[in-house]
Amino acid sequence: MDRYAVIGHPIKHSKSPLIHTAFARQTRQDLRYEALLAPLDGFSATVESFRTTGGRGVNVTAPFKLAACVTATRLTARAEAAGAVNTLTFNGDIIVGDNTDGVGLVRDLTVNLFCPLAGRRVLLLGAGGAARGVVLPLLQGKPTSLTVINRTVSRAHELRTSFARHAGQISFTAGGYDDLDGWDFDIVINATSASLENEAPPLPDGFFAPNAFAYDMMYGAGDTPFLATARAQGVTRLADGLGMLVEQAAESFALWRGVRPNSAPVLSWLRRKLTSSP
Ligand code: ATR
């Protein structure tokens, strides 16, 4: 039986084994998917031991997405641009590093949530690893503009500089929260880790355009602090990142197995589990 795993620290909370096992059942693929806890200084040793004992590939979660870039012997263009890897595929001695997070976000937005990027003004909050992972696929969706805002303004500018060559005709700008005054946006995506501290990013009032969409890459049983802020500002089209989680998994599964699972039933099953658990 082919073996796959997700590696992180911590790892007990990971939903990837549930998702991939559901995909395997649905597509009748004979595989086993497990969760592996790697010591903080032992990511590459954990990958090597899994690979040399017959593992076919792994997903990578916090805090190892940067380390996985180094472990990979080859990077896809989107992983190289992101500077982060969430999927490793083992082909003999070659370890291919890819990043399916951004495609997962764009698929969730455009296919599941009927929120196209083309022609829209998109605001991305945050300039850390999570934001870097989604910039290229967002630009490839051809929005009218992409604005990156970060608490530490210099990081937003650095992110802009490193992706500027991919922007083409798209107005691609960066700044801090104070620069948002007087602007409004059609799609606002929260890629900060503020929710982990139970905080929302420090957003001014009035920057959601009429009929705007608010998307939080984090997820939870109820509204995240960012989604609660958006709702309080009158936004009615909102989503958290559970769909992105399922879609990035579907993309990894398709890379590994050559078959694309139907993500919709798995997403609604996970949503039910999330909202019914105490
Ligand atoms: P990740 O890999 O999850 O992106 P990260 O690289 O540590 O983690 O980045 C966290 C992001 O969330 C950063 O953009 C951070 O802003 P700074 O660069 O200024 O640190 C942002 N962030 C974290 N807590 C925040 C808060 N309370 N308000 C606004 N932004 C926050």
Range 122-127 average pLDDT: 98
The CA distance from 214 to 187, in Å, is: 6
Q: Residue written as tokens 């641009």?
A: 81
The CA distance from 68 to 264, in Å, is: 29
- Taking the centre of ligand 1 as the mean of its atom positions, its distance from the CA of residue 258, in whole angstroms, is 35
Q: What is the pLDDT of residue 167?
A: 97
Q: What is the CB < 6 Å shell around ligand 1? A: 126-131, 150-152, 155, 192-194, 197, 199, 201
Token digits for 131? 């934001």
Class of domain 2-99+243-276: alpha beta
Digit-coded pLDDT (tens) for 30-87: 999 999 999 999 999 999 999 999 999 999 999 999 999 999 999 999 999 999 999 9
- Taking the centre of ligand 1 as the mean of its atom positions, its distance from the CA of residue 116, in whole angstroms, is 26
123 with 179: CB under 8 angstroms? no
Q: Pairing between strand 185-190 and 208-216?
A: parallel
- Taking the centre of ligand 1 as the mean of its atom positions, its distance from the CA of residue 169, in whole angstroms, is 28
Range 232-252 average pLDDT: 98
Band (278; pLDDT cuts 50, 70, 90): low
- Taking the centre of ligand 1 as the mean of its atom positions, its distance from the CA of residue 55, in whole angstroms, is 33
Token digits for 80? 């190289």
Residue closest via CA to ligand 1's atom 9 equals 128
Range 140-168 average pLDDT: 97
Band (196; pLDDT cuts 50, 70, 90): confident
* Active-site residue set: 65
Residue 277 has pLDDT above 70, yes or no: no
Digit-coded pLDDT (tens) for 85-100: 999 999 999 999 999 9
Is cis: bond before 204, omega within 30 of 0? Answer: no
- Taking the centre of ligand 1 as the mean of its atom positions, its distance from the CA of residue 259, in whole angstroms, is 35
Band (181; pLDDT cuts 50, 70, 90): confident
102-240: same fold as 2-99+243-276?
Answer: yes
Topology classification of domain 102-240: Rossmann fold (3.40.50)
- Taking the CA of residue 65 as reference, the ligand 1 atom at the shortest distance is 2
67: three-class secondary structure by DSSP: helix
- Spans of all domains in the chain: 2-99+243-276, 102-240
Helix axes 242-257 and 263-276, enclosed angle (nearest 10) = 140
Digit-coded pLDDT (tens) for 151-161: 999 999 999 99
Share of the chain above pLDDT 90, in %: 95
Share of the chain above pLDDT 70, in %: 99
Q: Ligand 1 pocket test: which of 192, 224, 226 has the largest number of ligand atoms within 8 Å of its C-beta?
A: 192
Amino acid found at 223: D
Q: Ligand 1 pocket test: which of 105, 125, 134, 151 has the largest number of ligand atoms within 8 Å of its C-beta?
A: 151
Residue closest via CA to ligand 1's atom 21 equals 192
